Structure 1
Amino acid sequence: MKAWIVLLMALCLPLMVQASEEEEDAEKAPAPVVAYVTLAPALVGNFGDGPKLKFFKADLSLRVTGVDVEAKIKHHEPLIRNQLVMLFSQQTEEAMAAAGSREVLRAEALKQVQDVITQEEGQPLVEDLLFNNLIIQ
């Protein structure tokens, strides 16, 4: 009986060692780095229609995960900036002044950025878009 127990323990020991090594490897793996890519300088343009010009100034940051993704976003920054300026310039004064309009605009801007990056890179890469500052005049 003791021989069976010793044999069973001898067979299970390598499995226990392998499981603990896998846990240690998982703990040693670096966590992905979250980065915020700020689009600088701020986006500036006019919007709306009518006799009086209305201006916007938007300071934006894009949240991404990974150093390589950050580099890709910086590479495509001119395309992203163009897409966002076009989006903001198409807004009406009523849409910009309405309650909750900034959240709607933020969601649409994120969608447009993700669409552009998906066309270029094959996946959205941008997790979120944040307004650091949005001034409408």
Structure 2
Amino acid sequence: MKAFIALLLALSLPFAAHAQEEKKEEEGEKAAPKVMYVGIIPALVGNYSSGMKMKFYKADIALKVTGSEAEEKVKYHEPLIRNQLVQLFSQQTDETLGSMDAKEKLRQEALKQVQQVLEQEEGKPYVEDLLFNNLILQ
């Protein structure tokens, strides 16, 4: 019987060590802030000028943040962020939205303006990147 218990303990030791390693990895993950994407919901919808004809856009946007504090700050200031982005999009033309390079410049300008809003309101930019999940122009 003693031999059986000793054998059972010997076989269970590797599993116990593996469980301890997993627990340490989970604790390490908890200590490191997580990257999250905060969606601007609902999507931005509006119009922009193209000479004599009005055109429309729909922009589905996500903001990349790290940590729950940044997520909370972005969500709290979402109305101000949304307003800034709507103003930026409404100033666009066919030339500023016509190519992939132009859309990338718009994305970078939108990121810069979102960071400026958060810098003014909170003292930190909080947002690391801005992504267009979908950008429809009509």
**Percent of aligned positions that are identical:** 62
Report the equivalent of 1:43. Answer: 44
Q: Give the partner amino acid of 2:126.
A: L
User: Does the residue aligned with 1:124 lie in a helix, a strand or coil?
Assistant: coil
Aligned to 1:107: 108
Structure 1 window deviating more from structure 2 (120-129 vs 27-36): it is 27-36
Structure 2 unpaired stretches of 5+: 1-23
SS of the counterpart of 1:44?
strand
Structure 1 residue runs of 5 or longer lacking an equivalent are 1-23
* CA positional deviation for 1:49: 4.1
Matched, 1:134 2:118: no
Instruction: Give 1:51 deviation, angstroms.
Output: 2.2
For residues 89-110 of structure 1, the C-alpha deviation after alignment (integer angstroms, 9 at most, x for no partner) is: 0011111113411110100000
- Rounded to whole Å, the distance in 1 between the matches of 2:100 and 2:106 is 11
Are the structure 2 counterparts of residues 48 and 71 from structure 1 closer, same or farther at C-alpha, using a change threshold of 3 Å? same
Alpha-carbon distance between aligned partners in 1 of 2:64 and 2:85, rounded to the nearest angstrom: 16
Question: 1:1-137 alignment to 2 at 5 Å?
Answer: 28=28, 30-137=31-138
Verify the 8 A CA contact 2:96 2:103 in the aligned structure 1: no
CA distance in 1 between counterparts of 2:58 and 2:106 reads 14
TM-score (norm 1): 0.77
Higher relative strand content = 2
Q: How many Å apart are 1:58 and its aligned residue? A: 0.1
Report the Cα offset of residue 76 of structure 1. Answer: 0.1
TM-score by length of 2: 0.77
Task: Note if contact 2:62-2:130 (Cα within 8 Å) is conserved in structure 1.
Answer: yes
